[in-house]
């Protein structure tokens, strides 16, 4: 914590700031909540949505706001969460169930999960430019499907509450919409806020509300670490969430939340922070994931279109020699590497009596091997294309051929 934060955020001043922030949240829920009988909370297990969830449940329980007729919590389990966060999330799920709150675990279907899609179907790891398949596939679509199911037998609309915050900098505010990949943001929350209400099948039936929009990151930490764990505020297991971002140093960091080893983040700040703590140091082998994802994007691990394929009009495709899916050898290699990281972590976990992790569970491994065994390729690929590091004539979209020059 820097000096400034200590001044602002200690004693009476801190309490006043929190009380003001909570009061605004209350007003926002009172103003918009009453119009909807059914509220849903889109929860990723990260700091912002966890603060939103626990605060709202406490406000209802303490009589600060009126409960909706129905409250559903949608926990987005991507199977890729940072272990301390997913462990804390499942503790909070138990605490919600003890209160008879409806909790839906939202997970992508087997073939769409990150590891299965990548290693079984052969789609390269996502990147910021051409191939950003992950957020929609492992977060947005499953959330949309769960919502559609939740409102299917129901006439009214649902108020979907998200953990989007406006944050401290005006620059970042403009990036809220698609906040995934930005430091300090929670991957998916911006999408839930902007994309979900317009999604097919639920359009017009979902309104969104971000009641912590005005909260600053220091309010979030204060709530998660010092308020929510107290019996008076709900006795929640939220301290461990702040822990995942750096424990007592958490205020300093505005780490983003997302998948462990996210290939889109510039650095794995959250994981670095976690493994710097002695009790989580056994997770250090997870650092190797990003290197594996990087290697999988290299030409020697992928196929390339030879440049001769025609589209349905008979003309050459726009990018006739584009790089494509992972070779079978690359998938086998990465599967072995990722399973060995998992084994290494779990052996140490067993030794130290710490929680085990699951990067690829048994069913996912079987499915990946099945897909590889049945020679599965992404759409428009056959598998007989050359490896992307094969030297070949350069073919432009106009059909101009620049022959390979051999010295």
Residues near ligand SF4, by CB under 6 A: 80, 126, 134-135, 138-139, 180-181, 187, 258-259, 262, 264
Closer residue to ligand SF4, CB minimum distance, 121 or 139: 139
The CB-nearest residue to ligand SF4 is: 258
Name the pairing type of β-strands 38-43 and 70-76: parallel
Nearer to ligand SF4 among residue 122 and residue 142 (C-beta): 142
The encoded tokens of residue 227 equal: 């308020």
Nearer to ligand SF4, 29 or 140 (CB): 140
Smallest distance from ligand SF4 to CB 263, Å: 6
Closer residue to ligand SF4, CB minimum distance, 222 or 268 = 268
- Looking at the Cβ atoms of 129 and 318, the one nearer to ligand SF4 is 129
Enumerate residues 6+ apart whose C-beta is below 8 A from 307: 316, 320, 321, 392, 393, 394, 395
Of 135 and 342, nearer to ligand SF4 (C-beta) is 135
Closest to ligand SF4 by CB, 58 or 75: 75
Distance of closest approach, residue 278 Cβ to ligand SF4, in angstroms: 26
Secondary structure of residue 142 in the 3-state scheme: helix
Q: How far is the CB of 135 from ligand SF4 (least distance, A)?
A: 4
What contacts 45, CB < 8 A, 6 or more positions away? 75, 76, 77, 81, 85, 86, 88, 89, 241, 257
Tokens (6 digits) for 220: 């979030």
| Least distance between ligand SF4 and beta carbon 354 (Å) | 24
- Which DSSP symbol is given to 196? G
Q: How far apart are CA 65 and CA 140, in angstroms?
A: 29
Looking at residue 401, what DSSP letter applies?
Answer: E
Query: Quick one: angle between helices 47-61 and 83-98, nearest 10?
Result: 10
The distance of closest approach from Cβ of residue 292 to ligand SF4 in the complex, given in angstroms and rounded to an integer, is 13
To ligand SF4, the closest distance from the beta carbon of 77 in angstroms equals 12
Distances (CA, A) of 365 to 43, 51, 82, 117, 138: 27, 34, 20, 12, 18
Work out how close the CB of 46 gets to ligand SF4 at its nearest, in angstroms, rounded to a whole number.
Answer: 10
């Amino acid at each position: 914590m820097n000096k400034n934060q200590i001044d602002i955020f200690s004693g009476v001043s801190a309490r006043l700031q929190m009380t003001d922030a909570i009061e605004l949240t209350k007003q926002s829920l009172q103003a918009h909540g009453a119009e909807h009988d059914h509220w849903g909370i889109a929860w990723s297990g990260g700091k912002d949505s966890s603060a939103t969830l626990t605060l709202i449940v406490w406000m209802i329980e303490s009589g600060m706001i009126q409960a909706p007729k129905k409250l559903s919590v949608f926990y987005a389990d991507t199977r890729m969460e940072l272990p301390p966060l997913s462990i804390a999330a499942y503790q909070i799920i138990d605490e919600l169930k003890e209160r008879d709150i409806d909790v839906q675990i939202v997970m992508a279907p087997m073939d769409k999960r990150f590891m299965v899609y990548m290693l079984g179907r052969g789609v390269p790891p996502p990147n910021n430019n051409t191939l950003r398949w992950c957020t929609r596939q492992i977060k947005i679509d499953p959330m949309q499907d769960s919502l559609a199911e939740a409102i299917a037998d129901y006439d009214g609309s649902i108020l979907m509450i998200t953990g989007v915050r406006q944050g401290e900098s005006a620059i970042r505010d403009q990036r809220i919409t698609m906040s995934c990949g930005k430091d300090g943001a929670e991957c998916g929350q911006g999408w839930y806020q902007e994309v979900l209400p317009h999604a097919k099948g639920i359009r017009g039936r979902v309104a969104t509300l971000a009641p912590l929009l005005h909260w600053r990151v220091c309010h979030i930490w204060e709530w998660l670490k010092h308020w929510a764990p107290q019996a008076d505020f709900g006795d929640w297991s939220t301290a461990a969430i702040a822990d995942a971002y750096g424990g007592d140093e958490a205020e300093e960091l505005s780490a983003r939340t997302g998948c462990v080893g996210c290939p889109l983040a510039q650095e794995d700040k959250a994981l670095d922070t976690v493994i710097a703590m002695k009790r989580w140091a056994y997770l250090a082998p997870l650092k190797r994931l990003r290197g594996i994802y990087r290697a999988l994007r290299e030409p020697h691990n992928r196929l390339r279109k030879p440049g001769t394929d025609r589209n349905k009009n008979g003309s050459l495709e726009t990018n006739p020699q584009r790089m494509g899916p992972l070779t079978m050898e690359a998938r086998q290699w990465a599967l072995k590497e990722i399973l060995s990281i998992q084994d290494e972590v779990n052996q140490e976990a067993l030794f130290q009596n710490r929680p085990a992790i699951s990067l690829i569970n048994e069913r996912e491994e079987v499915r990946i091997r099945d897909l590889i065994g049945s020679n599965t390729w992404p759409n428009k690929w056959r598998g007989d294309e050359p490896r992307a590091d094969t030297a070949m004539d350069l073919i432009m979209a106009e059909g101009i051929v620049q022959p390979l020059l051999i010295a």
